[in-house]
């Protein structure tokens, strides 16, 4: 007997889905509950398990193609049915005929996907607390991994997802996305498209889940938090000298490069201690001042942005920060960051200057009060207080702040404090 | 006489000793205080709570009554309205029913129906609850029967220090108070009791153990077992359960319950009384009304099955009552929900 598989409905309001990847090809056998196709929507990525054991007879939708939910996407010959259909001459002709366009019967819909059923039941099982918290944190319950009984999404799961912030949500989406089957052949991108890594002019790059979530979170943050912006110029000559003197030995001893980043983070955490509101967040109940100081460091990768977090950064020396940052950057580049690495940030540092940026206006990581940048260090002639002119290493530092949490008084105080601390650092000292 | 020494700041007592000490001090401190009930005089109460009181305070103040509960409470209501401070004893809560009209129809309504002209400063003490092989007529929980009645306060302490503080408050109160003493805790539960006169206000629950994953509300004997189960779960499985001892059932500390539920998002009410229409039902409804959007699990009640009474046979008694193990199971299920 042939079973027609239809595009599952992966969410209450979802009306269509994209075949991301066929994990089985025509002629492959498939076990009941074995995943045979990966489907993505703008909400979730999901592997669709087979409702029957059999052989893939026909694939009706190409990879990359988006169809309405309920549209037939494949036909599977159930075990025992193959011999039967071979015996019946009409069967192959029927098999090659276009799949019925009629919407599936309720019976058929029930067979579509266990994943679909799970996602739907997760939504139905969402408690009042889960629904409220998800709404407050602008999260979709269906995208959160549940740890409760039978995989129910609990309120703690929502809070954990919320605490991860936007970059963590990306990481979670990435890490929770079903692993692709290595043996499955990669289909060429549809005509007129290219990939993020190899963009071709005149083509459209299909959105990956990570790209889509980054986009959503950026819009959300910009939409939710009224951003204000400020900048200071900092004389980092002495820090630069200190770092230059230590960097070779440091790399030899630890294996990590010593950049200006850990010096900067050290000064940031000290300034956060002096201006704790900058380490807070806006909530419906009031401004929550975080106890922990967990500094996210924005790392741009070839295809997306990640912001792993140095936990309790205020408890680390410059050396400790350098190693922690080095480990995270290394993991990010090897695509080994886990959800834990991305969770819990309370403030973010953006190392824009690495690419030569002189000033930038970053978007705040949602659920935080600010993001500060370290821009490129340039040698400039500087008029000093005694009216002498000297060549100094100068760096701009820019702050985007959530104006709901702090006003200019606190924000500019924070920046001025940061400047003062960095200018006092070096050229001697212990890392 | 188990009255505390003035040189110490506290004395270790069990619950029954705390009742006795408090009553003794009340009799000493206020001549208007009288105790009446079956066998409270010459016999000194079935638990020997008032033993020898009659020798010191005389039959005018320690009054043996006939086996007639309606009469005990009815007379006490008259005494209270005429200026005495009666403490009426119902020997076992199971026998309180004949006095129902005197408690509900008269005492509870006195202040309201006289427009405040009369008050009824009456304490009705009674041992209640099971777990002592008391069988059909010596194991009952009665709180829900009286809970519905405005004008009546109901107190059910679990610890000796609370027994003294709350009984003092009950004796000082100008309105009727039903003071429930769980008989299994009488000698089982010991603790430090501060010396001297002190009171604990009604309507103040006690958070016995803080937790983050589940709120357990209970009172009386079950508070001890719930605490035991929660501590075991914390120690062995790392589960964080908050345990709240209501202490006074009406007035109830709604704030403490709501604050806790808003923190833990889950609520388990445990009581010995029958489930249907019990205290747990009221607490559940109150939380559903006030904290729906904080709830992350259905509210659950672990209570006695809906059978008319506790059996004498040990398996029947055990079936009727919850145990620390059953409580731990319910807590674990709720935390993991």
A395-413 pLDDT per residue, tens: 999 999 999 999 999 999 9
DSSP B102: I
Contacts for A47 with CB less than 8 Å, ≥ 6 apart: A23, A35, A37, A38, A39, A115, A178
In chain B, whose CA is at the least distance from the CA of A147?
B336
* Region at B234 (left for phi over 0; alpha for psi -120 to 50; beta for the rest): alpha
φ/ψ of A406, rounded to 5, equals: -130, 155
Identity of the highest mean pLDDT range in A121-130, A201-210, B88-97: B88-97
Q: Is the pLDDT confidence value at B4 over 50?
A: no
pLDDT confidence tier of residue B56, bands split at 50, 70 and 90: very high
Q: Do the beta carbons of residue B41 and residue B63 sit within 8 Å?
A: yes
Distance of alpha carbon B118 from alpha carbon B110, whole angstroms? 6
From B301's Cα to the closest Cα of chain A, the distance in A is 18
pLDDT of residue A277: 95
Between chains, do A154 and B337 touch, taking CB under 8 Å as contact? yes
Distance of alpha carbon B170 from alpha carbon B89, whole angstroms? 14
Beta bridge partners of A399: A230, A372
Chain B interface test: which of A148, A154, A284 (most B C-beta within 10 Å): A154
Which residues in chain A touch residue B336, judged by CB atoms under 8 angstroms apart?
Answer: 148-149
Which residues in chain A touch residue B265, judged by CB atoms under 8 angstroms apart?
Answer: 127, 129, 155
Distance of alpha carbon A122 from alpha carbon B290, whole angstroms? 25
pLDDT of residue A165: 56
Sign of CA dihedral B124, B129, B134, B140: positive
pLDDT of residue B199: 97
Between chains, do B296 and A127 touch, taking CB under 8 Å as contact? yes
Between chains, do B337 and A155 touch, taking CB under 8 Å as contact? no
Residue B297 contacts A where some CB pair is shorter than 8 Å: yes
Q: Do the beta carbons of residue B40 and residue B50 sit within 8 Å?
A: yes
Q: Active-site residues of B: which are they?
A: 138
User: Would you call A387 helix, strand, or coil by DSSP?
Assistant: coil
Sign of CA dihedral B287, B292, B293, B298: positive
φ/ψ of A361, rounded to 5, equals: -120, 85
Q: Is the pLDDT confidence value at A261 over 50?
A: yes
pLDDT of residue A376: 94
Q: Is the pLDDT confidence value at A168 over 70?
A: no
Q: Is the pLDDT confidence value at B269 over 90?
A: yes
From A220's Cα to the closest Cα of chain B, the distance in A is 24
Distance of alpha carbon B318 from alpha carbon B176, whole angstroms? 34
Distance of alpha carbon A396 from alpha carbon A392, whole angstroms? 13
Q: Do the beta carbons of residue A76 and residue A2 sit within 8 Å?
A: yes
The residue behind tokens 């098999």 is A95
Q: Is the pLDDT confidence value at A255 over 80?
A: yes
Chain B interface test: which of A122, A144, A155, A160 (most B C-beta within 10 Å): A155
User: Would you call B35 helix, strand, or coil by DSSP?
Assistant: strand
Please, which residues 161-200 of chain B have a Cβ atom closer than 8 Å to chain A? Answer: none
- How many other C-beta atoms can be found within 10 angstroms of the C-beta atom of residue A339? 18
**Per-residue model confidence as pLDDT tens digits over B213-260:** 999 999 999 999 999 999 999 999 999 999 999 999 999 999 999 999
Exposed/middle/buried for residue A155 (C-beta within 10 Å: 0-12, 13-18, 19+): buried
Q: Is the pLDDT confidence value at B137 over 50?
A: yes
Between chains, do A148 and B337 touch, taking CB under 8 Å as contact? yes
**Per-residue model confidence as pLDDT tens digits over A145-155:** 888 888 888 99
Q: Give which of B199, B202, B247, B200 is closest to B223, Cα–Cα.
A: B247
pLDDT of residue A89: 40
From B294's Cα to the closest Cα of chain A, the distance in A is 5
How many C-alpha atoms does A327 have within 13 Å on its Cβ side?
12
Residue A149 contacts B where some CB pair is shorter than 8 Å: yes
Q: Give which of A265, A329, A261, A262 is closest to A300, Cα–Cα.
A: A329
- A-B C-beta contacts closer than 8 Å: 29
Token pair recorded at residue B48: 């020997």
pLDDT of residue A10: 65
Longest C-alpha distance within chain B, in Å?
60
The residue behind tokens 């009705």 is B124
Q: Do the beta carbons of residue A408 and residue A228 sit within 8 Å?
A: yes
Token pair recorded at residue A423: 């200018």
pLDDT of residue A172: 46
Which residues in chain A touch residue B292, judged by CB atoms under 8 angstroms apart?
Answer: 128
More confident residue, B48 or B8: B48
Instruction: Give the pTM.
Output: 0.56
Please name the member of A132, A149, A152 whose beta carbon is closest to the beta carbon of B293.
A132
Q: Is the pLDDT confidence value at B210 over 60?
A: yes
pLDDT of residue B29: 96
Exposed/middle/buried for residue B178 (C-beta within 10 Å: 0-12, 13-18, 19+): buried
DSSP B49: T
A94 assigned to active site = no
pLDDT of residue A42: 56
Distance of alpha carbon A53 from alpha carbon A28, whole angstroms? 11
pLDDT of residue A52: 81
Residue A160 contacts B where some CB pair is shorter than 8 Å: no
pLDDT > 90 in chain A, percent: 38
Which residues in chain B touch residue A155, judged by CB atoms under 8 angstroms apart?
Answer: 265, 296
pLDDT confidence tier of residue A266, bands split at 50, 70 and 90: very high
Between chains, do A127 and B336 touch, taking CB under 8 Å as contact? no
Distance of alpha carbon A186 from alpha carbon A195, whole angstroms? 13
Choose the weakest-confidence range: A267-276, A297-306, A373-382. A297-306
pLDDT of residue A28: 86
**Per-residue model confidence as pLDDT tens digits over A178-205:** 444 444 444 555 556 677 777 888 888 8
Choose the weakest-confidence range: A60-74, A111-125, B54-68. A111-125
- How many other C-beta atoms can be found within 10 angstroms of the C-beta atom of residue B164? 29
Sign of CA dihedral B190, B191, B197, B199: negative
From A127's Cα to the closest Cα of chain B, the distance in A is 5
**Mean pLDDT of the A317-341 span:** 87
pLDDT of residue A50: 81
Residue A122 contacts B where some CB pair is shorter than 8 Å: no
Measured torsion, CA atoms of residues A146, A150, A152, A156, in degrees rounded to the nearest 10: -60
Token pair recorded at residue B151: 């004008």
Token pair recorded at residue A273: 């201690």
From A149's Cα to the closest Cα of chain B, the distance in A is 5
Token pair recorded at residue A381: 């002639």
Please name the member of B295, B333, B336 whose beta carbon is closest to the beta carbon of A129.
B295
**Per-residue model confidence as pLDDT tens digits over B150-185:** 999 999 999 999 999 999 999 999 999 999 999 999
More confident residue, A14 or A23: A23
In chain A, whose CA is at the least distance from the CA of B336?
A148
CA B266 vs. chain centroid, Å, equals 25
Distance of alpha carbon B144 from alpha carbon B220, whole angstroms? 14
φ/ψ of A135, rounded to 5, equals: -65, -45
Which residues in chain A touch residue B337, judged by CB atoms under 8 angstroms apart?
Answer: 148-149, 152, 154
φ/ψ of B287, rounded to 5, equals: -70, -40
In chain B, whose CA is at the least distance from the CA of A157?
B296
pLDDT of residue A45: 58
Mean of per-residue pLDDT scores for chain A: 80
Residue B332 contacts A where some CB pair is shorter than 8 Å: no
Q: Give which of B324, B329, B305, B279 is closest to B142, Cα–Cα.
A: B279
**CA angle centred on A32, ends A28 and A38, rounded to 5°:** 65
**Mean pLDDT of the B135-151 span:** 95
**Per-residue model confidence as pLDDT tens digits over B286-305:** 999 999 999 999 999 999 99
**Per-residue model confidence as pLDDT tens digits over A59-105:** 888 887 888 877 889 888 887 544 444 443 433 333 333 333 333 33
Residue A137 contacts B where some CB pair is shorter than 8 Å: no
Residue B289 contacts A where some CB pair is shorter than 8 Å: no
Q: Is the pLDDT confidence value at A49 over 50?
A: yes
* Region at A286 (left for phi over 0; alpha for psi -120 to 50; beta for the rest): left
Catalytic residue among A118, A330, A407, A417: A407
pLDDT of residue A179: 41
A317 vs A207, A256, A263, A328, A346, CA distance in Å? 40, 15, 9, 16, 19
Q: Is the pLDDT confidence value at B45 over 90?
A: yes
Between chains, do A129 and B336 touch, taking CB under 8 Å as contact? no
**CA angle centred on A30, ends A27 and A105, rounded to 5°:** 95
Which residues in chain A touch residue B294, judged by CB atoms under 8 angstroms apart?
Answer: 128-129, 132
Residue A128 contacts B where some CB pair is shorter than 8 Å: yes
The residue behind tokens 């003197």 is A245
From A132's Cα to the closest Cα of chain B, the distance in A is 6
From A153's Cα to the closest Cα of chain B, the distance in A is 9
The residue behind tokens 């059932």 is B249
Between chains, do A129 and B294 touch, taking CB under 8 Å as contact? yes
Contacts for B90 with CB less than 8 Å, ≥ 6 apart: B37, B69, B72, B73, B96, B99, B124, B125, B126
Distance of alpha carbon A306 from alpha carbon A165, whole angstroms? 11
Buried/exposed code over A286-306 (b: 16+ C-beta within 10 A; e: otherwise): eeeebeebbbbbbbeeeebbb
pLDDT of residue A269: 97
């Amino acid at each position: 007997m042939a079973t027609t598989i239809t595009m599952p409905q992966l969410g209450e309001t979802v009306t269509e889905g994209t075949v991301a990847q066929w994990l089985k090809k025509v002629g492959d056998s498939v076990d009941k509950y074995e995943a045979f196709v990966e489907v993505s929507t703008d909400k979730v990525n999901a592997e669709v398990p087979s409702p029957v054991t059999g052989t893939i007879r026909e694939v009706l939708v190409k990879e990359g193609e988006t169809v309405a939910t309920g549209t037939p996407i494949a036909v599977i010959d159930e075990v025992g049915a193959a011999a039967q259909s071979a015996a019946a001459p009409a069967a192959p002709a029927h098999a090659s005929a276009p799949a019925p366009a009629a919407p599936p019967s309720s019976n058929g819909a029930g067979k579509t996907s266990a994943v679909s059923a799970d996602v739907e039941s997760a939504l139905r099982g969402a408690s009042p607390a889960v629904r409220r918290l998800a709404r407050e944190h602008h999260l979709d319950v269906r995208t959160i991994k549940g740890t409760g009984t039978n995989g129910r999404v609990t309120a703690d799961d929502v809070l954990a997802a919320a605490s991860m912030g936007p970059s963590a949500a990306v990481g979670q989406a990435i890490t929770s996305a079903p692993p692709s089957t290595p043996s499955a052949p990669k289909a060429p991108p549809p005509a007129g498209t290219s990939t993020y890594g190899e963009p071709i002019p005149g083509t459209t790059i299909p959105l990956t889940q990570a790209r889509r979530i980054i986009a959503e979170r950026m819009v959300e943050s910009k939409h939710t938090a009224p951003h204000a912006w400020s900048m200071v110029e900092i004389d980092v000559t002495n820090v630069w000298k200190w770092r230059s003197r230590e960097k070779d030995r440091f790399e030899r001893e630890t294996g990590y490069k010593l950049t200006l980043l850990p010096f900067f983070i050290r000064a940031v955490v000290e300034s956060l201690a002096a201006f704790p509101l900058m380490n807070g967040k806006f909530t419906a109940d009031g401004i929550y001042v975080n106890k922990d100081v967990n500094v996210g460091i924005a790392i741009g990768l070839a295809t997306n942005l990640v912001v792993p977090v140095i936990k309790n950064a205020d408890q680390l020396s410059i050396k400790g920060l350098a190693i922690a940052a080095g480990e995270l950057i290394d993991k990010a580049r090897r695509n080994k960051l886990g959800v834990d690495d991305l969770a819990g940030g309370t403030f973010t540092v953006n190392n824009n200057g690495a690419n030569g940026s002189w000033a930038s206006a970053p978007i705040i990581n949602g659920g935080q009060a600010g993001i500060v940048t370290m821009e490129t260090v340039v040698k400039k002639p500087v008029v000093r207080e005694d009216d002498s002119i000297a060549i100094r290493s100068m760096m701009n530092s820019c702050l985007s702040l959530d104006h709901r949490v702090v006003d200019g008084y606190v924000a500019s105080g924070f920046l001025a404090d940061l400047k003062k601390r960095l200018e006092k650092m070096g050229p001697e000292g212990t890392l | 006489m188990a009255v505390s020494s003035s040189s110490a700041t506290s004395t270790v007592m069990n619950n029954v000793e705390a009742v006795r000490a408090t009553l003794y001090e009340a009799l000493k401190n206020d001549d208007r205080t009288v105790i009446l009930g079956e066998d409270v005089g010459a016999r000194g109460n079935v638990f020997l709570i008032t033993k020898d009181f009659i020798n010191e305070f005389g039959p005018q103040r320690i009054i043996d009554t006939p086996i007639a509960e309606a009469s005990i409470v009815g007379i006490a209501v008259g005494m209270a309205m005429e200026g005495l401070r009666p403490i009426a004893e119902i020997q076992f809560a199971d026998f309180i029913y004949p006095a129902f009209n005197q408690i509900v129809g008269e005492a509870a309504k006195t202040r309201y129906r006289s427009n405040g002209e009369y008050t009824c400063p009456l304490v009705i003490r009674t041992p209640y609850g099971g777990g002592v092989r008391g069988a059909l007529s010596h194991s009952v929980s009665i709180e829900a029967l009286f809970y519905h009645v405005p004008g009546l306060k109901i107190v059910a302490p679990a610890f000796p220090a609370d027994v003294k503080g709350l009984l003092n408050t009950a004796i000082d109160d100008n309105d009727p108070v039903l003071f429930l003493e769980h008989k299994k805790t009488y000698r089982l539960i010991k603790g430090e009791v501060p010396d001297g006169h002190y009171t604990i206000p009604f309507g103040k629950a006690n958070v016995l153990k803080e937790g983050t994953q589940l709120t357990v509300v209970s009172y009386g004997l079950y508070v001890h077992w719930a605490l035991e189960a929660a501590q075991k779960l914390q120690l062995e499985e790392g589960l964080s359960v908050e345990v709240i001892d209501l202490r006074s059932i009406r007035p109830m500390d709604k704030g403490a319950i709501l604050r806790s539920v808003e923190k833990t998002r889950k609520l388990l009410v445990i009581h010995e009384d029958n489930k249907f229409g019990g205290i747990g039902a009221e607490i559940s409804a109150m939380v559903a009304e006030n904290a729906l959007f904080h709830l992350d699990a259905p509210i659950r009640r672990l209570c006695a099955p809906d059978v008319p009474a506790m059996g004498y046979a040990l398996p029947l008694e055990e079936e009727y009552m919850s145990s620390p193990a059953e409580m731990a199971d319910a807590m674990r299920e709720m935390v993991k929900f």
